[in-house]
Amino acid sequence: MTFTAQILTLYPEMFPGPLGTSLAGRAREEGKWALNTVNPRDFTTDKHRSVDDTPAGGGAGMVLRADVMATAVDFASGKQPNAPILAMTPRGKPLTQARIRDISSGPGVTIICGRFEGFDERLFEGRNIEQVSIGDYVLSGGEMGALVLLDACIRLFPGVMGATASGDDESFEHGILEYPQYTRPQIWEGRIIPEVLRSGDHAKIAAWRKQRAEEDTRLRRPDLWERRRDASDQSPSGAQGKDKDKE
């Protein structure tokens, strides 16, 4: 079965965009994933074809109507009822590599792209929709977020990444950042590749990489580092570790 991405967007011309080239583009040509866009404007009933209206209670901008969006969502999700429905919004839960892995191993995804000031909240009360954010900044619409999410999923499909197939070693897969990488030339502007990486001693190399991954995570991403500590504190072996720390 082909993973199918259905995108609800007022700007269908933004797709596949960058996903039409490189790994994702090739994977699409090979039938590893398929793309459908659905324009909510096609589900309007008034003569102006309006998808949005002014915010209740006043304020700037426009809000996407629950009735129009729900009709478009029902149409799209009816085509793949077992795929999760996501809405891109800065109010959503931050996307993680674990969630990406989960989505990429499923039948597909329906993604609703917001524009303007956001969605009428009743859409989320009336439908089973997961609100997701790609980071703590505000985009002009959800389309870029949808592209980011899809790119992260597509590279995990079997056979898309070639030699690095599983991606097991990379940043976030173990809740921490990846270790730093080096390649030839051996000396560049007087900087030399760390000796251990040239040693051929695989055990030493693995130990060095683990240590650097942990150190960089602790310094650059204290949030990830804390979360990892908390997670290991809660596991049976981690609980022992914590007791030991206290002694």
Q: Is 40 in the site for ligand ADE (CB under 6 A)?
A: no
> CA angle, 114 as apex, 24 and 78 as ends, to 5°?
70
Residue type, 17: G
**Do β-strands 52-53 and 33-38 pair in parallel, antiparallel, or remain unpaired?**
unpaired
Least Å distance, CB 134 to ligand ADE, is: 4
| Selected binder of ligand ADE within 40, 84, 108, 114 (CB under 6 A) | 114
Q: Is 89 in the site for ligand ADE (CB under 6 A)?
A: yes
Cβ distance to ligand ADE smaller for residue 148 or 193: 148
Cβ distance to ligand ADE smaller for residue 38 or 132: 132
Least Å distance, CB 51 to ligand ADE, is: 16
Tokens of residue 46, six digits: 């008034």
**Which DSSP state fits 16?**
S
> Could you give the CA distance from residue 209 to residue 181 in angstroms, rounded to a whole number?
9
Least Å distance, CB 9 to ligand ADE, is: 12
Cβ-based neighbour number of residue 239 at 10 Å: 12
> CA angle, 239 as apex, 235 and 240 as ends, to 5°?
125
Cβ distance to ligand ADE smaller for residue 139 or 176: 139
By rule CB under 6 A, what string of x and - marks binding of each residue 49-88 to ligand ADE? ---------------------------------------x
Least Å distance, CB 85 to ligand ADE, is: 15
Nearest Cα residue to 44 out of 61, 60, 14, 64: 64
> Could you give the CA distance from residue 167 to residue 151 in angstroms, rounded to a whole number?
14
Least Å distance, CB 132 to ligand ADE, is: 6
Q: Which stretch binds ligand ADE (CB under 6 A): 5-13, 23-31, 139-147, 165-173?
A: 139-147
Nearest Cα residue to 150 out of 11, 1, 32: 32
Site residues, ligand ADE (CB under 6 A):
88-90, 114, 133-135, 137-139, 142, 145
